[in-house]
Amino acid sequence: MGILQIETWGSFPDARRRFTAETGGHAQAVGEAIQWLSEVALPQSIELDHKLHDDGVRPSNKDFSRRE
C-alpha cells in the first residue's frame, strides 16, 4: 500500500507526517492528509502570515493564481 508523506521546515514549523493507505485505503489517507493540513498547517500558516505582515514583510502574490 502507499504512503503519503508531508514534511514542513524552514519558516514553517518543523513537522513530518505520514498517512498510509494500508488501514483505510488511498482515499482515506488523502482525506487524513487534507484534514491535517486544514486543521494544523493552515491555521499555523495564517498566524505566521499575519505576524509577518505586522512586521512589514509581505511576499509577492503576483504568481499566486498562475496554474500550469
Give per-residue pLDDT as tens, 18-42: 999 999 999 999 999 999 999 999 9
- The verdict on residue 49 lying in a domain is yes
Q: Total domain count for the chain?
A: 1
Q: Does any domain span residue 48?
A: yes
Helix/strand/coil for 9: coil
What integer pLDDT is reported at residue 64 of this predicted model?
Answer: 66
Identify whether 37 is part of a domain.
yes
Q: Which domain holds residue 29?
A: 3-54
Rounded Cα gap, residues 22 and 52, in angstroms: 39
In a domain, 64, yes or no: no
Higher-pLDDT residue of 57, 65: 57
**Contact (CB, 8 A) for 7 and 16:** yes
Residues 6+ apart with CB under 8 A from 37: 6
Determine, yes or no, domain membership for 59. Answer: no
